[in-house]
């Protein structure tokens, strides 16, 4: 694999990398994502055009996101030889992804009966016109040859849990489908310029044959305007569509690029992470969020997790406030699903889905993992005990408000959402009369290996955050929208809020400055990772539940360190250092969410070189493929947008030392020794700032100085 400034290249075809490269070379535009596969591939190579926000359930199988028919399918034969890298002789092959503009290309030289037949293809999903997919396909030869070319929209597609379409009709290059569960209409248009259906083409030596394929994919309400929309797109040439697509990407990079001088590997890794974040985020709707595996397929059912709020939304809040607002509004729009879930488990308020689909109902099952030995489903407690998700949802909304300075969502359901989340926690909490405090029992924290624990420190502190957010949101409403505030207080009992807020137990550092992850964690077996691995009987054993790790101190991922990351301004450096050193040896980093928390905390306590290790682990996760591909016997591969967000968080919050209060942005950097300069953009309360950091100075400039933005640099105050 070769990496340039803005490109990643695979210089030869590796059959065992087809699955991994499908994720690595993904293109997407927020509406749909297409895996990095060859045009001649089929469902066995996990070809997928994954649709954002469209879900379906076939029979008793899991409900999941929908893969649309494959619009880029092309089959070329030269004589009796199919030009397929899986079966034909190839003398050269190169696959490229341009991350600056989201363009996938391939160049393959096939050896056929003494001739070198070269196939080149370039494709993109338009960032300007989200329904449009475009492909330019070229064949050339050094000897006379006869080709047979077939191009179509392939309906025989990869699905994890069953077919999701009924084909209703097909005419005039338009495919009409309907989803199985909710009968949602889907229409796929195809226009091919230069080749249609099956074409026999005779090429002389040195000649080239090129065709362009444009497809339009529409579903739901967009079907009604699809014909007009697609006609407008096809009035433009491939190059014209590509030019406007590039223009959108140029604007995106202008607002979010991170520049690292002195480390080419880190430079590409951070940009690769930001490419994935920007390509999969829903730009034009607030009816869906970002799935845990992006738009790389149906893994984790295409659902949104806490990953979005805690790992991705910080990036968008500081670079693209409108998009971040869409993500926050999605949770407001799905509150009824959260209320239904709370009722299902016997509680009040809003208990948000661990795996959220379009209605907010929980796609998570009670049996998420199969026993590797028996194949039987294992009972897990992700759905019913990871209650911190409701606090994470509040965190996403409230931090968006603080960073952007835009509190308007509070008056269009946001305040209601915060209240209902806290009311859920109030109904869930246990009051201990002897200690006169509220506790949270039977929970699962970020470390999923330890289930049904009491007083997980991260969870309890996040619930306290939710209470603080409600208190502050009510104060904001009282000062800025009196009528709304009074009506809200008339319709909602808030008399319990202060008591719950003040008497909720949050574990504090002990005499050794260590925060116990949950009650009685310190009594668990004190072992190490190598010892635990040596106890495995079979590969891919699940360590959680009643598995290998459950009675030990071994963690799946950052838990207390996640607490110290999110609330990094609340704890002394000595506490952060003590907990980092204590928990780091126990942490498996079995999740891609883990490393960034360790990196941010390490940078904040003067351990920039340790932080760099975790930054690179996070930023290269989709480049290296160095992650778990299976959980038990369940495939969990795909892209890792939470890690992509984590890489930006580590660069900006960790090395850049960025933190903030309601009124002030603070910058106290700590760069790795070999970095000469770190430069990034921040959108802070409506003003776009450019921050440039080297070992000698920090420079901050504003695009439109207002003298109303407070910034401190190494504790020195400035106004912009």
Torsion over CA: 157, 159, 163, 166 (sign): negative
Q: Where are the beta strands (DSSP E) in 99-207?
A: 103-112, 115-125, 132-141, 145-154, 165-171, 174-179, 185-193, 198-203
Nearest-angstrom CA–CA distance, 282 and 30: 5
For residues 645 and 615, is the Cβ–Cβ distance under 8 A? Answer: no
For residues 649 and 314, is the Cβ–Cβ distance under 8 A? Answer: yes
Q: Kindly report the backbone phi and psi dihedral angles of residue 43, in degrees, each rounded to the nearest multiple of 5, phi listed first.
A: -65, -30
For residues 272 and 99, is the Cβ–Cβ distance under 8 A? Answer: yes
Q: Which two tokens stand for residue 28?
A: 């997407």
Q: Which two tokens stand for residue 46?
A: 């996990």
- Render 574-606 in DSSP notation, one character per residue: HHHHHHHHHHGGGB---STTSHHHHHHHHHHTT
pLDDT in tens, 96-155: 999 999 999 999 999 999 999 999 999 999 999 999 999 999 999 999 999 999 999 999
CATH T-level fold of 2-228+243-255: Beta-galactosidase; Chain A, domain 5 (2.70.98)
Q: Which helix (H) or strand (E) holds 477?
A: helix 457-480
**Does residue 634 have a pLDDT over 80?**
no
DSSP structural state of residue 363: -
Q: What is the pLDDT of residue 197?
A: 72
For residues 413 and 346, is the Cβ–Cβ distance under 8 A? Answer: no
Q: Kindly report the backbone phi and psi dihedral angles of residue 487, in degrees, each rounded to the nearest multiple of 5, phi listed first.
A: -65, -40
pLDDT in tens, 221-277: 999 999 999 999 999 999 999 999 999 999 999 999 999 999 999 999 999 999 999
Strands 710-713 and 664-667: parallel
Nearest-angstrom CA–CA distance, 56 and 36: 24
Q: Which of 47-56, 523-532, 624-633 has the lowest mean pLDDT?
A: 624-633
**Does residue 633 have a pLDDT over 60?**
no
Nearest-angstrom CA–CA distance, 38 and 59: 31
Q: What is the pLDDT of residue 708?
A: 86
**Does residue 631 have a pLDDT over 80?**
no
632 pLDDT tier (thresholds 50, 70, 90):
low
- What whole-number percentage of the chain has pLDDT above 90? 92
Say which residues have a Cβ less than 8 Å from residue 414's Cβ, sequence separation at least 6.
328, 332, 397, 401, 473
**Does residue 630 have a pLDDT over 70?**
no
> How buried is residue 471: exposed, middle or buried, by Cβ count under 10 Å (0-12/13-18/19+)?
middle
Say which residues have a Cβ less than 8 Å from residue 251's Cβ, sequence separation at least 6.
none
Nearest-angstrom CA–CA distance, 109 and 99: 24
Nearest-angstrom CA–CA distance, 335 and 341: 10
For residues 179 and 66, is the Cβ–Cβ distance under 8 A? Answer: yes
Q: Which residue has the higher pLDDT, 445 or 704?
A: 445
Q: Which two tokens stand for residue 157?
A: 């597609």
Nearest-angstrom CA–CA distance, 654 and 565: 9
For residues 278 and 270, is the Cβ–Cβ distance under 8 A? Answer: no
> How buried is residue 488: exposed, middle or buried, by Cβ count under 10 Å (0-12/13-18/19+)?
buried
Mean pLDDT computed over 70-80 = 95
DSSP structural state of residue 308: I
Classify domain 257-667 at the CATH class level: mainly alpha
- Three-state DSSP state, 296: coil
Q: What is the domain partition of the chain in residue ranges?
A: 2-228+243-255, 257-667
- Three-state DSSP state, 295: coil
CA 441 to chain CA mean position, Å: 29
Q: Active-site residue numbers?
A: 448
Closest by CA position to 279, among listed 10, 515, 32, 72: 32
Closest by CA position to 325, among listed 412, 422, 419: 412
How wide is the angle at C-alpha 232 spanned by C-alphas 226 and 238, nearest 5°? 115
**Does residue 1 have a pLDDT over 80?**
no
Q: What is the pLDDT of residue 198?
A: 78
Diameter of the chain measured on Cα atoms: 91
For residues 466 and 391, is the Cβ–Cβ distance under 8 A? Answer: yes
Q: In the chain, what is the straight-line distance between the N-terminal and C-terminal CA atoms, in Å?
A: 44
- Do the domains 2-228+243-255 and 257-667 sit in the same CATH topology, yes or no? no
Tell me the CB-side half-sphere exposure of residue 374, using CA atoms within 13 A.
5
- Is-above-0.85 flag for pTM? yes
**Does residue 599 have a pLDDT over 80?**
yes
Mean pLDDT computed over 606-633 = 86
Mean pLDDT computed over 317-340 = 98
For residues 316 and 388, is the Cβ–Cβ distance under 8 A? Answer: no
Q: What is the pLDDT of residue 521?
A: 98
């Amino acid at each position: 694999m070769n990496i340039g400034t803005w490109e990643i290249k695979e210089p030869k075809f590796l059959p065992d990398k087809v699955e991994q490269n499908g994720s690595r070379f993904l293109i997407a535009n927020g509406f749909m994502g297409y895996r990095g596969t060859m045009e001649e591939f089929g469902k066995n190579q996990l070809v997928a055009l994954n649709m954002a926000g469209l879900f379906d359930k076939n029979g008793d199988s899991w409900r999941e996101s929908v893969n649309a028919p494959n619009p880029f399918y092309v089959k070329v034969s030269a004589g009796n030889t199919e030009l397929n890298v899986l079966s034909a002789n190839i003398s050269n092959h190169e696959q490229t992804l341009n991350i600056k503009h989201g363009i996938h290309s391939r160049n393959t030289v096939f050896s056929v009966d003494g001739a070198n037949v070269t196939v080149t293809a370039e494709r993109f999903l338009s960032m300007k016109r989200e329904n449009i997919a475009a492909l330019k396909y070229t064949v050339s030869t050094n000897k006379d040859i006869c080709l047979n070319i077939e191009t179509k929209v392939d309906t025989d597609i990869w699905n994890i849990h069953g077919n999701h379409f009924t084909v209703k009709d097909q005419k005039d290059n338009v495919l009409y489908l309907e989803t199985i569960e909710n009968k949602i209409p889907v229409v796929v248009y195809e226009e091919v310029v230069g080749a249609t259906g099956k074409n026999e083409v005779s090429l002389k030596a040195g000649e080239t044959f090129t065709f362009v394929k444009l497809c339009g994919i529409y579903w739901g309400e967009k079907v009604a305007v699809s014909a007009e929309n697609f006609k407008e797109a096809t009035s433009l040439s491939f190059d014209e569509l590509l030019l406007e697509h590039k223009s959108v990407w140029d604007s995106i990079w202008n607002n979010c690029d991170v520049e690292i001088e002195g480390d080419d590997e880190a430079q590409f890794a951070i940009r690769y992470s930001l490419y994935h974040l920007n390509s999969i985020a829903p730009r034009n709707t607030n009816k869906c969020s970002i799935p845990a595996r992006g738009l790389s397929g149906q893994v984790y059912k295409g659902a949104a997790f806490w990953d979005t709020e805690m790992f991705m939304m910080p990036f968008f809040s500081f670079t693209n406030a409108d998009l971040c607002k869409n993500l926050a509004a999605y949770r407001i729009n799905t509150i009824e699903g959260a209320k239904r879930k709370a009722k299902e488990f016997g509680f009040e308020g809003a208990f948000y889905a661990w795996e959220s689909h379009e209605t907010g109902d929980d796609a998570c099952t009670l049996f998420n993992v199969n026993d590797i030995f028996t194949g039987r489903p294992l009972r897990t407690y992700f759905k019913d005990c990871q209650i911190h998700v409701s606090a994470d949802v509040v965190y996403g909304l409230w931090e968006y408000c603080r960073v952007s300075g835009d509190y308007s969502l509070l008056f269009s359901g946001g305040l209601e959402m915060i209240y209902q989340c806290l009311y859920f926690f109030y109904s869930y909490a246990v009051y201990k009369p002897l200690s006169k405090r509220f506790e949270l029992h039977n929970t699962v924290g970020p470390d999923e290996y330890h289930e049904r624990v009491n007083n997980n420190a991260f969870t309890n502190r996040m619930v306290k955050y939710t209470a603080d957010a409600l208190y502050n949101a009510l104060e904001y409403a009282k000062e800025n929208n009196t009528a709304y505030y009074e009506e809200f207080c008339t319709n909602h009992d808030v008399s319990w809020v202060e008591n719950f807020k003040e008497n909720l137990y949050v574990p504090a550092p002990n005499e050794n400055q260590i925060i116990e992850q949950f009650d009685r964690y310190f009594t668990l077996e004190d072992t190490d990772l190598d010892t635990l691995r040596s106890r495995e009987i079979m590969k891919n054993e699940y360590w959680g539940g009643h598995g290998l790790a459950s009675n030990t101190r071994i963690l799946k991922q950052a838990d207390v360190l996640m607490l110290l990351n999110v609330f990094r301004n609340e704890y002394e450096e000595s506490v952060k250092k003590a907990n980092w050193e204590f928990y780091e040896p126990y942490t498996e980093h079995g999740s891609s969410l883990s490393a960034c928390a360790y990196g941010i905390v390490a940078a904040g306590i003067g351990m920039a070189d340790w932080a760099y290790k975790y930054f690179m682990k996070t930023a290269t996760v989709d480049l290296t493929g160095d992650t778990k591909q299976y959980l038990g016997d369940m495939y969990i591969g795909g892209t890792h947008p939470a890690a992509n967000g984590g890489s930006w968080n580590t660069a900006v919050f960790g090395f850049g030392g960025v933190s903030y209060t309601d009124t002030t942005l603070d910058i106290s950097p700590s760069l790795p020794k070999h970095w000469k300069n770190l430069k990034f953009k921040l959108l802070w309360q409506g003003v776009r700032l450019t921050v440039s950091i080297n070992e000698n100075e920090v420079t901050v400039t504003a695009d439109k100085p207002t003298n109303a933005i407070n910034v401190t640099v190494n504790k020195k105050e400035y106004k912009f």
